């Protein structure tokens, strides 16, 4: 594979990954960009096309039909077609080979699981499951055609929402607790495709760093982390950089 990333930096990152007893990957929208899912921020980001108000919990309850129409368009019609890419697959292979303990993802697209990753901590929930806002009954998105919106619970008739967190909602407690644990235990944190702009997710890599983890970052652009906590910045697209990492991990194992 032709190298677009500094080979010395790749070698150093691979050395750290091999020496590590506990590596956690922390992923954001950027890892799914090459699956055809746009990031949230930036020129072509989702928030330049759609108004994020549709994911505000209060707005959802007062304008459910409008919120659901936009949610369907973004997260089901469009995201629903996306397939795991080479970077998701590298992380699954690294886990299977013992180089990766777990993944904390801010993404709700389920692509890590579709690539074969087992230990996935979903910090913001998942779009493939839906939940009743009244009785909390869980549904699969495949239970509905999404032709008649907004969705209502078959048991209590309350509004159904996707099981990912909206603005104004807390982080799922178990995911939060597992993320803190990983940040306390990890000796290497591998950040892939995240700007680090959204709290409290953005604090997790800082916690890892303050507990002694080395930070390896993969991103075509510098992020909020790059000049603050990153030890090795591998500038490039997730599929390319992760492909090189895997190649080097295998060659030198």
Binding range to ligand APR, per CB under 6 A, among 1-9, 35-43, 61-69, 245-253: 35-43
In angstroms, give the least distance from the CB of 253 to ligand APR: 25
Count residues contacting ligand APR (CB under 6 A)?
23
In angstroms, give the least distance from the CB of 29 to ligand APR: 3
Q: CB-wise, 38 or 153, nearer to ligand APR?
A: 38
Report the residue from 22, 45, 137, 187 that binds ligand APR according to the rule CB under 6 A: 45
In angstroms, give the least distance from the CB of 221 to ligand APR: 4
What is the rounded CA–CA span in Å between residue 103 and residue 110? 12
111-150 in b/e form (b: 16+ CB < 10 A) is bbbbbebeebbbbbbbbbbbbbbeeeeebebeeeeeeebb
| Residue of 120, 118, 97 whose CA lies nearest to 27 | 120
In angstroms, give the least distance from the CB of 248 to ligand APR: 18
Q: Is 95 helix (H, G, I), strand (E, B) or coil?
A: helix
Catalytic residue, candidates 61, 112, 124, 206 = 124
Answer yes or no: are the C-beta atoms of 160 and 139 closer than 8 Å.
yes
| Catalytic (active site) residue 124 | yes
- Contact map string, positions 190 to 229, toward ligand APR, x by CB under 6 A: ---xxx-xx--------------------xxx-x------
| Residue of 134, 122, 121, 143 whose CA lies nearest to 161 | 134
| Residue of 19, 21, 28 whose CA lies nearest to 185 | 21
Which chain residues interact with ligand APR by CB under 6 A? Answer: 28-31, 33-34, 39-41, 45, 106, 124, 193-195, 197-198, 219-221, 223, 237-238
């Amino acid at each position: 594979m032709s190298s677009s990333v500094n080979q010395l930096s790749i070698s150093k990152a691979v050395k750290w990954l091999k020496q590590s007893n506990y590596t956690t990957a922390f992923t954001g929208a950027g890892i799914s960009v090459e699956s055809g899912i746009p990031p949230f921020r930036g020129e072509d980001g989702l928030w330049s096309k759609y108004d994020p108000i549709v994911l505000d919990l209060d707005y959802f309850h007062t304008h459910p039909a409008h919120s659901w129409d936009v949610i369907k368009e973004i997260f089901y019609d469009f995201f629903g077609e996306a397939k795991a890419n080479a970077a998701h697959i590298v992380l699954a292979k690294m886990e299977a080979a013992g180089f990766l303990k777990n993944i904390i993802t801010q993404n709700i697209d389920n692509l890590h699981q579709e690539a074969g990753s087992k230990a996935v901590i979903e910090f913001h929930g998942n779009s493939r499951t839906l939940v009743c806002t009244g009785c909390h009954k869980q549904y699969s998105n495949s239970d509905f055609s999404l032709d008649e919106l907004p969705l209502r619970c078959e048991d209590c008739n309350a509004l159904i929402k996707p099981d990912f967190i909206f603005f104004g909602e807390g982080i799922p407690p178990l995911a939060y607790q597992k993320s803190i644990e990983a940040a306390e235990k990890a000796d290497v944190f591998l950040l892939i495709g995240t700007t680090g702009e959204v709290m409290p997710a953005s604090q997790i890599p800082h916690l890892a760093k303050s507990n002694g983890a080395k930070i390896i970052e993969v991103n075509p652009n510098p992020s909020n982390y790059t000049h603050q906590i990153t030890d090795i910045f591998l500038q490039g697209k997730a599929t390319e950089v992760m492909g090189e990492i895997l190649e080097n991990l295998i060659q030198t194992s």
